[in-house]
Structure 1
Amino acid sequence: MSTPEPRRLVVRGCDVLEVPAEGECTVVSGKDIHITGNLITSIVPTGRPVPRAAEILDGTGLLATPGLVNGHTHSPMVLFRGAAEDVPVHDWFNKRVWPMESNLTAQDVHHGALLACAEMISSGVTTFVDHYFFPEQIAEAVASTGIRANIAPTFFSSQGPAALAETVAFAEHWHGGAGGRVTVSLGPHAPYTVDDADLTTLAVHARRLGIGLHLHASENLAQTESSMARRGITPIEVLERTGILDAGVMIAHGCGIIPQDYAMLADHADRVAVTSCPKVYLKHALWPLTPIRDLLDLGVTVAAGTDGAAGHNTLDVWEALRLVAMTQKLETRDAMFLSVSDTLRLAMRGGAAAARLPPGAGALEPGQLADIVLVDLSGLHHRPLHDPRAALVYGVQTNDVKSVVVDGRVLMRDRKLLTVDVPGLLAEIDARTGRLVDTSSGASVQFYDP
């Protein structure tokens, strides 16, 4: 039996954003991006002959960028978008979100994940780093929509040993699934909801399976102060003592990381990433912010994320990276910190590293994954276009994204989603809305008291 020919795609006539590992990002004009299977094979001047069997994606007048990575989210929480506003963080968890989440069924999560995948594809996100319940349902949504994800099944110690075994079984079954588009990290929720013994056990499993972990730690300074008052050590020290740092971990938020944590993070910088989601910190009036300058100086990977849409309202990573840049300039009192090139590199290469994609991912280069976004910078809000890089960081709106390629497959062409039945999905979502936000039962998935 003959081996089928690999899929071929040519993105034709586009400009290309080059995102080097160091230095200035640049834009080169008039290129064709040749793709075979799921990899970029060459980037050449446009107009050269293309393989007869190749699919053509017209990039005329558009800027090709690496796909965005949502470095930390809870994708099905789109179901609670706008349902927990104008409350402090304790009430957000204890009076709104965790009671609402007790209503979720597996099918709710599946449809919520489908909606999240559709929203992210339509805004130029090609990979997301997720942490949530019913992970099988999220994995199925990723498989069917064509997006890429690293999925961590949420685990609390209060769920008991059976739930811990289930989270490990999910990793054993799904890691590398959907043709490699689904990868898995183990997902202890946080040091204040998972005890040290379980953290240690999950770190051992992660090393055995050759995967990482994804959790919340030192989310804000109050959590760090509480940990020091109760235990005499910071949350980062908990991660070091339990083997989490050594196994490799993506830390969500890290706004409470303090200087005494720095040596531990530096010692594990090759396997630790931190994702900053500043919109939720602003909404909850939380300060300080993620110490991005110090983390980068330590060699720690930093990415941008949205957190869940119950807090961020959208899964718009353009907005997230914009807020990372602006809030860090204010935090450091340095208008030159996080230049447009550094911000794009953080969101693209940094995001890819946080998602544990292959080395070098997050750039449009031969041999890299064909995760490509075509952006239209011709709109009134971009003219005159003095610097396309600045437009990407400070001006892009989600509807500027015209087409999206993931793993060499076109998922959106000229704003039309090709893998999601949008009207049918929205009907499913609307049918669930009232039940999901009803908190009258008094049930809750957890109590927030870090």
Structure 2
Amino acid sequence: MTAETTSAAAATPQADLLISDVTALVHGPDGAVDFLPGAGIVVRDGLIETVAPMGELAGVRAARTIAGHGQVAMPGFINCHTHSPMVMFRGAAEDVSVVDWFNKKVWPMEVNLTPNDVELAARLACAEMIAAGVTTFADHYFSMDRVATAVDESGLRANLGWTFFSSEGPAGLARSADFAREYRGAAGGRITTALAPHGAYTVDDDDLRATARIAQDEDILVHIHAAESRAETRTSRGNRGLTPIGVLDHTGLLEGRVLIAHGRGVVQEDLPLLARAQGRVGVGSAPKGYLKNGTETTAVRSLVSAGVAVGLATDGAASNNTLDVWESLLFTCLVQKAVEEDELWMTARQGLHHATLQSAAAVGLAGQVGSLAPGHQADIILVDLSGPHTQPIHDLASTLVFSARSADISTTIVAGQVLMEGRRLLTVDVPAVAQALAPRLAALTDVSHGRSIQDYAAHP
């Protein structure tokens, strides 16, 4: 190193973090997934400053260095639709019909919730997602102020929306809107917010129109269940002359930014409506739960053709059992090949594209998360592929999707803060949370009171 180089290096402000000696998952100009071996990642002020070969970073000084030792660095996973506090009902509503799942299990159990229950369960969910490499999640539930507390304390990034039904009257939308306004930008900017009407069949047209007006006037994302099944689409068309996507269009929601949960009932006539939205619409797809239900899956190929960003999701753990987006990545690739009867569709690289750039776009955070690129948030996971189940590696993308699993993640970082290192969680005390939640479980799952937060029709 010359004296001039040494002087320049000394003059460069110290970075916050250097992740050294990794193979970095990067994106080409067209968004295609690629890999950069022997790379280093420089983080400053919570943002990625540089991703480059280690030889180009010889003069970089950092307050902390994490030695990657040949691990794979990836953008953190984005869970595009979940109900994080429902981890408290994990395994409590199994092997029943969809109607009974809602009417006899979940909605009667949710009557029992207190805000404290929601916060405790959200802490457990945050721990699970950190361990599974999820750095951002889009949540749709009640008592969202308490979920925000868990997000703040855990260090995760989240888009939060307070669910409402028209059966609540004007107070439902008002509460959702007030929360969205108050908490956007909370947790040092890690929290973004959404308006969260439950669904096109539980929120009436007047409330959907009012939601659309607020969303457009204040540039707030709308997160809603719509076209959850083909049965819902058939019923909506029969009762209203419109598909659920047609309802979103008719009420003005497609004029703003919308995140649709599931979209399994999207049909051909919906595609022009979605295409006309010009990229403002995203869909969160959670294929594991669809397989459990023995029903159709999200028509990813059709949605992509209409310009819709399709991201990966888990839904809640009451239906999906885990909040592990790596599972969703694997199931997406496998199920899409099967339903399209095309072994060349949804390749490993395509799946990783949906897990990264597509997921970021779906939750309204394109250009901020989902890529290891300068200026993006330093939301990074390190994956150790030294285990016998991932060796040998002939094609890294295929190894990641079809052989690796979330237990191979060694490190999870959000906004430059290390939340898990060496598989050790640093921001959530899981035994303490589980101990606090345990005494409440019997009361939470009691449905003997005969009440429910809502009624789910056989074909809503």
Q: What's the TM-score bracket when you normalise by the shorter of the two chains?
A: over 0.9
Query: Quick one: which of 187, 196, 212 aligns to 1:187?
Result: 196
**Could you tell me how far apart the structure 2 residues matched to 1:313 and 1:269 are?**
34
- Are positions 1:322 and 2:330 aligned together? yes
- Are positions 1:396 and 2:411 aligned together? no
Contact 1:274 1:301 in 2 (8 A): yes
Partner of 1:81: 90
Partner of 2:223: 214
Greater Cα offset, 372-381 or 427-436? 427-436
**Could you tell me how far apart the structure 2 residues matched to 1:20 and 1:424 are?**
44
1:105-155 Cα deviation digits (max 9, x unpaired): 001000111111110011100000110010101111111100000011101
1:367-396 Cα deviation digits (max 9, x unpaired): 111110000111111111112211211122
Structure 2: 5+ residue stretches without partners = 1-12
Kindly state the Cα deviation for residue 356 of structure 1 after the two structures are TM-superposed. Answer: 1.3
Partner of 1:382: 390
**Could you tell me how far apart the structure 1 residues matched to 2:66 and 2:453 are?**
46
Q: Tell me: CA distance 1:360–1:180, structure 2 relative to 1, closer, same or farther (3 Å).
A: closer
Contact 1:123 1:399 in 2 (8 A): yes
- Are positions 1:271 and 2:280 aligned together? yes
Contact 1:11 1:58 in 2 (8 A): yes
**Could you tell me how far apart the structure 1 residues matched to 2:249 and 2:31 are?**
33
**Could you tell me how far apart the structure 1 residues matched to 2:304 and 2:107 are?**
33
Partner of 1:31: 39
Partner of 1:229: 238
Query: Quick one: which of 371, 379, 382 aligns to 2:379?
Result: 371
Correspondence list, 1:161-200, <5 A: 161-200=170-209
Kindly state the Cα deviation for residue 24 of structure 1 after the two structures are TM-superposed. Answer: 4.4
Kindly state the Cα deviation for residue 53 of structure 1 after the two structures are TM-superposed. Answer: 5.0
Greater Cα offset, 160-169 or 92-101? 160-169
How many residues in Structure 1 have an aligned counterpart in Structure 2?
445
Correspondence list, 1:414-433, <5 A: 414-433=422-441
Greater Cα offset, 417-426 or 177-186? 417-426
Correspondence list, 1:250-269, <5 A: 250-269=259-278
Structure 1: 5+ residue stretches without partners = none
Greater Cα offset, 17-26 or 38-47? 17-26
SS of the residue corresponding to residue 138 of structure 2 reads: strand
Contact 2:14 2:60 in 1 (8 A): no
Kindly state the Cα deviation for residue 163 of structure 1 after the two structures are TM-superposed. Answer: 2.3
Query: Quick one: which of 119, 135, 148 aligns to 1:126?
Result: 135
Alignment-mate amino acid for residue 286 of structure 1: T
**Could you tell me how far apart the structure 2 residues matched to 1:380 and 1:317 are?**
22
1:312-335 Cα deviation digits (max 9, x unpaired): 000010100111111111111101
- Are positions 1:203 and 2:212 aligned together? yes
**Could you tell me how far apart the structure 2 residues matched to 1:65 and 1:52 are?**
22
Kindly state the Cα deviation for residue 6 of structure 1 after the two structures are TM-superposed. Answer: 8.9
Query: Quick one: which of 280, 284, 306 aligns to 2:293?
Result: 284
Alignment-mate amino acid for residue 200 of structure 2: P
Alignment-mate amino acid for residue 339 of structure 1: T
Contact 1:370 1:405 in 2 (8 A): yes
**Could you tell me how far apart the structure 1 residues matched to 2:32 and 2:146 are?**
40
Correspondence list, 1:90-109, <5 A: 90-109=99-118
SS of the residue corresponding to residue 411 of structure 2 reads: strand
Q: Tell me: CA distance 1:346–1:11, structure 2 relative to 1, closer, same or farther (3 Å).
A: same
SS of the residue corresponding to residue 351 of structure 2 reads: helix
CA RMSD of aligned residues (A): 1.5
Alignment-mate amino acid for residue 155 of structure 1: F
**Could you tell me how far apart the structure 2 residues matched to 1:391 and 1:432 are?**
41
**Could you tell me how far apart the structure 1 residues matched to 2:61 and 2:271 are?**
55
Contact 2:23 2:71 in 1 (8 A): yes
SS of the residue corresponding to residue 172 of structure 1 reads: helix
TM-score, length of structure 1 as denominator length: 0.96
Q: Tell me: CA distance 1:207–1:85, structure 2 relative to 1, closer, same or farther (3 Å).
A: same
**Could you tell me how far apart the structure 1 residues matched to 2:217 and 2:456 are?**
31
Correspondence list, 1:411-450, <5 A: 411-449=419-457, 450=460
SS of the residue corresponding to residue 186 of structure 1 reads: strand
- Are positions 1:145 and 2:180 aligned together? no
**Could you tell me how far apart the structure 2 residues matched to 1:143 and 1:133 are?**
17
**Could you tell me how far apart the structure 1 residues matched to 2:255 and 2:32 are?**
32
- Are positions 1:11 and 2:19 aligned together? yes
**Could you tell me how far apart the structure 2 residues matched to 1:217 and 1:148 are?**
25
SS of the residue corresponding to residue 90 of structure 1 reads: helix
TM-score, length of structure 2 as denominator length: 0.94
Greater Cα offset, 405-414 or 15-24? 15-24
**Could you tell me how far apart the structure 2 residues matched to 1:232 and 1:351 are?**
32
**Could you tell me how far apart the structure 1 residues matched to 2:428 and 2:441 are?**
20
